[in-house]
């Protein structure tokens, strides 16, 4: 007999499916709404500048920018001090990282302090990039600005970049969380991008920076494309960020963390964060298929990194190639479905139509994964009939 278990179903060829955020037991409390920094006022606008990299020594600076009309925001509630920097070239891209010390001068504790990428009247159109220069001081190709991608801080181990878990505080958001309705733009900010970098205390990684604290840290990480010649590579790159606090603790699983080790690390981050906030559900924002470990997992198909919200020109993530599982019939989470016959057929409903799906995977918590030839899949608009032919689940 089939025991009640959480199932993730994947069309085997062209599309990968992710479980929906609602795939939790019926007695689980309702999930939090989309995390948003909307309850926070803007705490300071900064220009983060990377100078050098590659064959040249890398230096970093953080400059407060007084674009806001209000005197209160002309004096940022936080300050940034460069502590460390790193860079490496791999696969035709250059990774630039800057770790900044964060001082809380607001007079009150700040929790989930997040530096969101923003555009201003002085940034390259549709991007948070304010400066893009070559080594000789000339202007680099502005098209490079939209190809600069944020992500988790990484180090190069052998030939492969590996996420640096102790500072893996890149945060992605649903687009609605940073809309003008959810998050009004402070004076001088034209647009807010749905990603940022969270500050924490070193050591245990506490997300609350006490009032007057000078020991918080945040690490910014960006990848930029290398050009056909070193002379054409960007040498001086500046990114605009605005500081906010977030009301909901969240972690992000990036496309760099979809393998087994990355998924395990994401689960560990969720567990550590939940220990900090025992009375508040931790939200997992996954750019791809969310791992287990948080009952409140939200798949973000892709994250806008350039262009306006309605017509983005660059994205981080796979976009529409991923599916979300909306429902499953029969529902294995009801009391009547605790035990199911081996011949049970499941009909899932996805958030988009399937194309040429010819196989599937069932992943049971108790019995592991069953893939491919043990079942059939038939297209039906946004539905696919999955016929179970094995009792291994």
Above 80 in pLDDT, residue 84? yes
Report which of residues 32 and 279 the model is more confident about.
279
Angle at 152 between CA 178 and CA 197, to 5 degrees: 40
Strand (E) or helix (H) holding 264? helix 260-276
Report which of residues 368 and 281 the model is more confident about.
281
Q: What is the mean pLDDT of residues 6-26?
A: 33
Above 90 in pLDDT, residue 56? yes
Lowest mean pLDDT among 81-95, 111-125, 266-280: 266-280
Q: What confidence category does residue 6 fall into, taking pLDDT thresholds of 50, 70 and 90?
A: very low
Q: What's the pLDDT score for residue 177?
A: 93
Q: What confidence category does residue 73 fall into, taking pLDDT thresholds of 50, 70 and 90?
A: very low
Q: What is the mean pLDDT of residues 11-31?
A: 36
Above 50 in pLDDT, residue 2? no
Q: What's the pLDDT score for residue 386?
A: 41
Report which of residues 2 and 208 the model is more confident about.
208
Report which of residues 212 and 337 the model is more confident about.
212
Above 90 in pLDDT, residue 276? yes
116-135: pLDDT as tens digits: 999 999 999 999 999 999 99
- At 327, is the secondary structure helix, strand, or coil? strand
Q: What confidence category does residue 108 fall into, taking pLDDT thresholds of 50, 70 and 90?
A: very high
Dihedral angle, C-alpha 286, 149, 83, 166, nearest 10 °: 20
Q: What confidence category does residue 385 fall into, taking pLDDT thresholds of 50, 70 and 90?
A: very low
180-221: pLDDT as tens digits: 988 888 888 999 999 999 999 998 899 999 999 999 999 999
Above 70 in pLDDT, residue 63? yes
| Buried-state track 219-252, b at ≥16 Cβ within 10 A, e below 16 | bbbbbbbbeeeeeebbbbbbbbbbbbbbebbbbb
Above 50 in pLDDT, residue 26? no
Report which of residues 233 and 280 the model is more confident about.
233
Report which of residues 348 and 312 the model is more confident about.
312
pTM (2 decimals)? 0.76
Above 50 in pLDDT, residue 28? no
Token reading at 324: 């979300």
Q: What's the pLDDT score for residue 368?
A: 54
Q: What's the pLDDT score for residue 341?
A: 74
Going from the C-alpha of 179 to that of each of 125, 194, 303, the distances in angstroms are 18, 9, 13
In sequence order, the 6+-apart residues with CB closer than 8 A to the CB of 171 are 114, 195, 196, 197, 198, 246, 250, 251, 252, 285
Q: What's the pLDDT score for residue 362?
A: 57
Token reading at 332: 């294995």
For the chain, percent of residues with pLDDT exceeding 90: 52
Q: How many Å apart are CA 91 and CA 207, to the nearest integer? A: 33
Q: Are 161 and 168 in contact (CB under 8 A)?
A: no
Report which of residues 25 and 383 the model is more confident about.
383
Q: What's the pLDDT score for residue 262?
A: 85
Q: What's the pLDDT score for residue 38?
A: 40
Report which of residues 374 and 245 the model is more confident about.
245
The per-residue pLDDT of the chain, averaged, comes to: 78
Q: What is the mean pLDDT of residues 282-294?
A: 78
Q: What is the mean pLDDT of residues 244-260?
A: 89
Token reading at 63: 């400059």
Q: What's the pLDDT score for residue 176?
A: 92
Phi, psi angle pair for 314, to nearest 5°: -155, 145
């Amino acid at each position: 007999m089939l025991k009640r278990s959480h199932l993730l179903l994947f069309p085997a060829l062209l599309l990968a499916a992710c479980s929906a955020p609602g795939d939790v037991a019926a007695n689980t409390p309702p999930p939090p709404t989309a995390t948003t920094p909307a309850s926070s006022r803007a705490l300071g606008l900064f220009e983060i500048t990377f100078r050098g990299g590659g064959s040249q020594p890398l230096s970093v600076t953080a400059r407060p920018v007084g674009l806001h009309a209000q005197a209160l925001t002309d004096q940022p509630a936080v300050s940034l001090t460069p502590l460390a920097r790193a860079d490496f070239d791999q696969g035709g891209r250059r990774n630039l990282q800057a770790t900044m010390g964060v001082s809380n001068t607001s007079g009150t504790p700040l929790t989930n302090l997040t530096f969101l990428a923003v555009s201003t009247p002085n940034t390259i159109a549709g991007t948070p990039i304010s400066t893009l220069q070559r080594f000789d001081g000339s202007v680099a190709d502005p098209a490079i600005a939209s190809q600069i991608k944020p992500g988790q801080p990484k180090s190069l181990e052998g030939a492969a970049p590996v996420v640096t878990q102790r500072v893996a505080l890149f945060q992605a958001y649903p687009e609605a969380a940073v809309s003008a309705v959810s998050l009004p733009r402070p004076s001088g900010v034209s647009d807010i991008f749905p990603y940022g970098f969270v500050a924490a205390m070193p050591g245990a990684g506490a997300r609350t920076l006490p009032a007057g604290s000078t020991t918080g840290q945040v690490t910014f990480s960006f990848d930029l494309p290398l050009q056909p010649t070193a002379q054409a590579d960007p040498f001086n790159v500046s990114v605009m960020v605005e500081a906010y606090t977030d009301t909901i603790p969240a972690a992000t699983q990036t496309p760099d963390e979809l393998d087994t080790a990355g998924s395990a690390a994401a689960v560990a981050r969720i567990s550590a964060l939940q220990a900090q906030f025992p009375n508040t559900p931790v939200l997992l924002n996954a750019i791809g298929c969310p791992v287990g470990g948080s009952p409140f997992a939200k798949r973000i198909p892709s994250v806008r990194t350039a262009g306006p919200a309605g017509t983005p020109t660059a994205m981080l993530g796979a976009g529409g190639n991923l599916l979300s599982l909306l429902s499953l019939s029969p529902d294995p989470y009801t009391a009547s479905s605790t035990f199911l016959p081996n011949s049970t057929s499941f009909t899932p409903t996805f958030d988009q139509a399937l194309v040429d799906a010819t196989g599937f995977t069932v992943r049971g918590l108790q019995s592991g994964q069953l893939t491919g030839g043990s079942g059939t899949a038939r297209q039906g608009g946004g539905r696919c009939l999955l016929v179970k032919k094995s009792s291994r689940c």
